Structure 1
Amino acid sequence: MINNIIIKINLYGFFKKYNMEYIFLSIPYNCNIKLLRKIFLDELITINKFINVDEILNCSIFANNTDILNDDYVLVDKEELILFPPVNGG
């Protein structure tokens, strides 16, 4: 039985100022987007305790190559995601 899977998250917008283009995460098998948000936030705080992304992460959109993913979407091993943070208009 698989305990963990590895995913890659490509990062845009807000995360660029931290020189982060992507992150690999080891997450539990059958992890959904809702749990991924918490795991991802914990990892970001581990990387840089000054990153304050809780609010941004909660209104960001996760997507794969074809779909925007809701919180119930279950991730698979080696899945590649895109994280789109909120965008400010000008």
Structure 2
Amino acid sequence: MGITIRPATNHAADAAKRLADLHDHEDSLHQGTARVLYAIYTGTISSREIRNDHQVQLGALKNRDAIHIRHGDGTRYTLTDDAAFAFNI
């Protein structure tokens, strides 16, 4: 049994972040998430009443930086610039 002393680094946290980013890039969109994303794109998602399954999908889209969630300006959910660019082919 031995003891190793090494300087404190962020290598483990950086590696975990890179793995999470890789997973997000390789993981496809769930069908329900795609429906919610399209509803935001077309402006047909309700700004007052959100179903429970939509709340989960909104969180997933927010984590992927595909949408902005705004408060108080009338438009509650909007696409990020990257997501809007992907829709405008």
- Into which bin does the TM-score normalised by the smaller protein fall? under 0.3
Greater strand share, structure number: 1
Higher helix share: 2
TM-score, with length taken from structure 1 = 0.27
Give the structure-2-normalised TM-score: 0.27
